[in-house]
Structure 1
């Protein structure tokens, strides 16, 4: 009797939380051998756009990004060199395609976004412009390009969750205000309260 009551309680608890209605799917993958060897210390993310793929090396000694053909993964070129020069990256925290023709590498320490073009199977990526962020854009760790040529950047140290930044790096507005009655506590604990991340599949309208 005790066993039956316990089993009934467990099944009722799962149904109340909706676990039985959660969709279940399985992931499948296959190993792809690189046609050419490229030295990478910490390959962190792979971005794909049409016939090319970019492997982002989070902890590199030389270049943060490596361009390959897709799906064959034949090496084309490395770009976004590490360094402290005007066309170099001090510490990259995020790299993604802005559109089909342009690729952005976010330099957290340099507070800038380096935009490259020429990401094609038979060309070498070229730095076409650099966007320097204004001081009110605090701690740029991630970015998401929006359809109107602006960018969405999480605000980890402010009183809102996101910054909307223009293509020139100028802060346009902050959105997602964190509402707390105790403003002193808000300013003191903003890094913890405002922490959020941008998912790769996020769609903004």
Structure 2
């Protein structure tokens, strides 16, 4: 068993090392507009709105829906029955005590298990179905090595390995085993900013903060930048890697006291790799525009677009929504997208794809 796991890790590492080492000019492909633009009108899903302050992520698995609240004062995750969204239970109690969660950034299903990232404690917690079958209880905590800088996202590559973005600037990803030990750092940030890559890597890594997703059925790992408009697609089965750069370009920033201060646009806020495509929430608003709107009393948070790419990163379709959203859960078989809207009291939206 150990031998098989070791081979999996080595294969992943070799691919990421070889693909990420490509120069940006060799791996990057620009894209312009999408061949299709479709307007979608959502319907509100009735839920217990008293539970949420900032519903950031929504994940549907089987007959359960998990919604993560980024700024919760009580519990970071709420569980509902699917498809009627009947409230079941809350988990990830906020606090500093053992078994409690200090701060959370993401949740992910793996079969019947739900993994919750505790950024504050640098832990990835696994929750399993309770005996009653209608709630989840904490069953495992993966404590991440201290040498790994702040963990803001994760995916599970297999039962023994996690992939998380690297914010040291020295590589693109960190590979972490089930005990939280750093196996190795792999890849480089695919930027054309050679000066920052050589002299300001931590600031560059902050500016290149990316949201990631991985689909084990097709082997596609996708990363989208929170700033700018960059999509990276790694196929871990056929060893291909491509960087797609949209009209807004790479993340823009300036360095101040070692930190990367954003100066361009808000880019993506969530990404999902399905069996057929890559779906990503896109904002596309400049920080100047956001500040001007705030001064006028206009407080709108989120993105109004869902970009759809092929599994090779080719633009397929742009959905224009009637709400500003943050997180998505795509069900291709039903043709449905669930989304979170932090701007309204009823935060769960349902969109029917056309």
What TM bracket, shorter-length normalisation?
0.7 to 0.9
After superposition, residues 134-145 of structure 1 pair within 5 angstroms as 134-145=145-156
> Does structure 2 retain, via aligned residues, the 8 Å contact 1:63–1:78?
yes
2:11 is equivalent to residue 29 of structure 1: no
CA pair 140-120 structure 1, distance change in 2 beyond 3 A: farther
Equivalent residue, structure 2, for 1:60 = 72
1:78 aligned residue (62, 80, 90): 90
Alignment partner, residue 89 of structure 1: 101
Give the CA deviation at 1:179. Answer: 8.8
User: Tell me, what secondary structure is at the counterpart of 1:191?
Assistant: helix
Relative contact order, higher structure (CA 8 A, sep 6+): 2
Structure 1 residues 2-56: Cα deviation after superposition (integer angstroms, max 9, x where no partner): xxxxxxxxxxxxxxx975762333434321112x554211111111001100011
- TM normalised by structure 2 equals 0.47
Q: What is the DSSP-based 3-state SS (H/G/I as helix, E as strand, rest coil) of the residue aligned with 2:40?
A: coil
Distance in 1 (alpha carbons) for counterparts of 2:85 and 2:199: 48
Larger strand percent? 2
Distance 2:76 2:190 in 1: 38
Calculate the TM-score normalised by the size of structure 1: 0.79
In the alignment of these two chains, the number of paired residues is 185
Q: Which runs of 5+ in 1 are unaligned?
A: 1-16
Instruction: Rate the CA distance shift 1:39–1:26 in 2: closer, same or farther, 3 A.
Output: same
Q: Structure 1 residues 179, 84: closer, same or farther in 2, change over 3 A?
A: same
> Could you say if the C-alpha distance between residues 79 and 148 of structure 1 is closer, same or farther in structure 2, counting changes exceeding 3 Å?
closer
Give the CA RMSD over aligned residues: 2.8
Superposed CA deviations along residues 92-147 of structure 1, whole A, max 9, x for unmatched, are 112221x1111111111111111101179942211000010112211111001113
Q: Secondary structure at the match of 1:68?
A: strand
List structure 1 runs of 4+ shifted beyond 6 angstroms.
none
Q: Which has the larger radius of gyration?
A: 1
Determine if contact 2:155/2:212 at 8 Å carries over to the other structure: no
1:158-183 superposed Cα distances (whole Å, 9 cap, x missing partner): 30011011111011111113599xx9
Partner of 2:212: 199
- Mark the CA change 1:38 to 1:121 in structure 2 (over 3 Å): closer, same or farther: farther
Residue of structure 1 equivalent to 2:137: 126
